[in-house]
Amino acid sequence: MPLNQETVLQALEGIKGPDGSTPLPRSGALGGVVVKDGRVFISIEVDRRLATEAEPMRERVEKLVAGLDGVASVLVTLTAQKPAGAAVAPAPHAHSHVAPAPGPKAQAARAGIAVVGVKTIIAVASGKGGVGKSTTACNLALALQALGNKVAVLDADIYGPSMPRLFDLKGKPEVVDGRIMRPLDAYGLKVMSIGFLVEEETPMIWRGPMVMSAITQMLRDVQWGEIDIMVVDMPPGTGDAQLTMAQSVPLAGAVIVSTPQDLALIDARRGVAMFRRVEVPILGVVENMSTFICPSCGTETNIFGHGGARHEAERLGVPFLGEIPLALDIRTTSDAGTPVMVSAPNGPHAAAYKAMAQGVLDSLAGQNSRPAPMIVME
Ligand code: ADP
């Protein structure tokens, strides 16, 4: 029998769904079955409160599918269904002045899939591509490490994973214990990238359940060890995939990267709104490609304007984490796989990234010591 979605579904008829009697494919819990080149991705939706009870079912599915003809690899993930009444809050109305502070429900949801060993997870996000989000994520992670933290990087940019290039990582993660992956090491950071899992040249259509599966696998099935801060490089933009991710990763906060132009700032504002919608605190806004420093004469020019992100951060009532100039050596070191934090750790750019990292730590500390801040919407 050929291996396809149909044959997998047929096999799954032999497994009982979460109620213990209805076959899984008819139980309504099957979120998605994707079969591609012998690789099978399955997601099962369960009430998050029953996640532990559902684990044996997940294992049975994995074992059964692994035994089917033609299966090279199988990934079965439990995706937490929101308990009744905990649906995503609607976007704040344009003229509402005060949005509620993160409620206990959202905090519980975020804590629901905490990653073993990882103390804090933060997202680096942008309203659109090309603003230097990945470059910032990579150097910010190194700067957090320089300040004495154990740091991991999870490259979740499903549209264009950059960490293999930024850190010059060519290998694949080693699989230990059957399905647990060992992250790669880059300058002391533990790095996992969606780019290690999918072939670079293969275009992938990311369906909702696959996004969830891939993220869940990279969070849970990786031997992270003890980590103080994990930096997640999010896919750019504010669409469904980004929203799904913002909800499914237990984020302590998000850093928004923007360039100073008005258009980029409008997108950055959307980014801030998206995280607020899922009640993830904004740790701050960064202005990347701020002023241009001429490599030959050192003159500073404000190619895209300057100071827009600082102003925007003030307007939105979120911290401003600093400016990173548009500098040739930031670009060349990124492309060479030797980020500027590594190649010039005592230079001015490294100092700017370290100040940014300190700002992130301050925002995180402020969150823990203060009552949840009131969020003022325009
Ligand atoms: P994104 O993740 O937002 O798509 P990248 O981090 O991949 O953006 O950056 C896009 C391009 O801009 C890359 O070639 C990168 O080297 C370059 N770049 C990013 N930040 C800077 C900067 N501050 N100065 C110079 N080049 C930069």
Which of 157, 324, 334, 343 is the pocket-test mutation for ligand 1 (most atoms within 8 Å of CB)?
334
pLDDT above 60: residue 185:
yes
Residue 255: is its pLDDT beyond 70?
yes
Question: What's the confidence (pLDDT) of residue 87?
Answer: 36
Mean pLDDT, residues 160-173:
91
Average model confidence (pLDDT) across the chain: 83
Grouping H, G, I as helix, E, B as strand and the rest as coil, residue 85 is coil
pLDDT value at residue 369 = 55
pLDDT over 50 at 373, yes or no? no
pLDDT for residue 309 is more than 80: yes
Mean pLDDT of 165-188: 89
Instruction: Note the pLDDT of residue 110.
Output: 40
Q: When comparing pLDDT for 284 and 181, which is higher?
A: 284
pLDDT tens digits, 6-64: 899 999 999 998 888 999 998 888 877 878 778 888 888 777 677 678 888 988 998 99
CB of 288 closer than 6 A to ligand 1? yes
- Could you tell me the CA-to-CA distances from 86 to 3, 118, 166, 371 in Å, in that order? 38, 25, 38, 22
The count of other CB atoms within 10 Å of the CB of residue 128 is 18
User: Ligand 1: does its nearest atom lie under 6 Å from the Cβ of 130?
Assistant: yes
Residues 6+ apart with CB under 8 A from 235: 156, 157, 158, 159, 241, 242, 245
Question: Residue 282 C-alpha to ligand 1 middle, in angstroms?
Answer: 22
| 289 Cβ inside 6 Å of ligand 1 | yes
Enumerate helices (H) and strands (E) in the chain, giving the number of each. 13, 16
Angle of helix 262-277 versus helix 240-248 axis, rounded to 10: 50
330 Cα to the center of ligand 1, angstroms: 8
* Cβ contact 110:80 at 8 Å: no
Whether ligand 1 lies within 6 angstroms of the CB of 340 is answered as: no
* Whether residue 356 has its Cβ less than 6 Å from ligand 1: no
Ligand 1 atom closest to the Cα of residue 257 is 3
What whole-number distance in Å separates Cα of residue 196 and Cα of residue 29?
29
| Ligand 1 in reach of 74 Cβ (< 6 A) | no
Q: Which residues pair with 189 in a beta bridge?
A: 186
Q: Which pLDDT score is estimated for 192? A: 94
pLDDT for 205-228, tens place per residue?
666 667 777 888 888 889 999 999
